[in-house]
Amino acid sequence: MEKRQLGKNGLEVSAIGLGCMRASAGHGPVGGTRQEMIAVLRGAVDRGITLFDTAQVYGPFVNEELVGEALAPVRDQVVISTKFGFQFDNSGDPHPTGLNSRPEYIKETVEASLKRLRVEAIDLLYQHRVDPAVPIEEVAGAVKELIEQGKVRHFGLSEAGAQTIRRAHAVQSVTALQSEYSLWWREPEKENLATLEELGIGLVSFSPLGKGYLAGSVTEQTQFDKQDNRGTFPRFSLEARKANRALVDAIQSFAAKKHATAAQIALAWVLAQKPWIVPIPGTTKLERLDENIGATSLKFTSEELQELDGILTRIPVAGDRYPAEVQRMTNR
């Protein structure tokens, strides 16, 4: 497996990582039993994947426990990232009640993450969403203390805007920004990519397959489980799925000429943008994992990249990425 450096702080990871969110309950149907999901994570290690992504809110908490159990036997071979920043109360309701990045709460929840992940140090710790109630300098300062204590190795931000990245980086060097980036969401190109390049920060691209849509696994016939959050996204409404079919058809036609799948084209495109970008597609099936890894061997000529850009320019994407209240929590 090809390796890449996330930023200038020496964090080397596989060119493709694994997003683990859907390996446990909480965001839609799970692709198998707990033991089957553990087998997928360990199978990913066997195939050379070293970056595994989870978060406190996935489940919540059960995903960190799953990742911790799965990777404990191979801890020295992997990089585990998790995220803080959502508030959980003691009412028994597992869903978050809002954002909370107060320094004391960060430290409290990180202690719990360390136990669930079965690690002495978290390799890459992200603020999951920027909390407007807490200055980012205080957040960065809290993570800096955790790094000094040996409980965290690298600091990351998720869905943060350029100015927030700069302010955080001035307090504690940021290793990676995690944001959605794909053939149908290129917002990071407007400002963030240039900021990351200037500061020497890597980009971890989540949903590089458009939450399954760009791979062709979501169609107009798809019926979303009531727990599947995609069913609430405007981009996954029936009307949007019908309108966006033209984009998938064009990608599949391009893929056929490259003797590849649409998923491989989507991942290879992300990889081709910058050498410090690492996509983390999620999957619960080893055959899909093998397909995704195959994208690392795909290379594009400049003419082919221009052809793909032409497709994206010609076919606009229908539907907002998130509902308005969720979208407001991004790019702050």
Q: Which residues are catalytic?
A: 58
Q: Helices in the chain by DSSP H: which ranges?
A: 34-46, 62-71, 103-117, 136-148, 162-171, 192-199, 238-257, 262-273, 286-293, 302-314, 324-327
Q: How many CB atoms neighbour CB 52 within 10 A?
A: 27
Give the residues across from 27 on adjacent strands. none
Nearest to 83 by CA among 15, 160, 30: 160
Q: What torsion do the CA atoms of 125, 128, 131, 135 make, to the nearest 10 degrees?
A: 20
Q: What are the backbone dihedrals phi and psi of residue 174, each rounded to the nearest 5 degrees, phi first?
A: -90, 130
Q: From CA 97, how far away is CA 90, in angstroms rounded?
A: 11
Buried b (16+ CB within 10 A) or exposed e, 220-254: eeeeeeeebbbeebebbeeebbebbbebbebbbeb
Quickly tell me which residue has 């490259």 as its tokens: 258
* Cα–Cα separations (whole angstroms), residue 180 to 137, 157, 186, 209: 24, 12, 8, 10
Quickly tell me which residue has 């990232």 as its tokens: 81
Token pair belonging to 172: 């504690």
Whether residue 274 contacts residue 18, with contact meaning beta carbons closer than 8 Å, is answered with: no
98: DSSP letter: E
Q: From CA 287, how far away is CA 17, in angstroms rounded?
A: 15
Centroid of chain to Cα 250: 25
Q: How many CB atoms neighbour CB 299 within 10 A?
A: 10
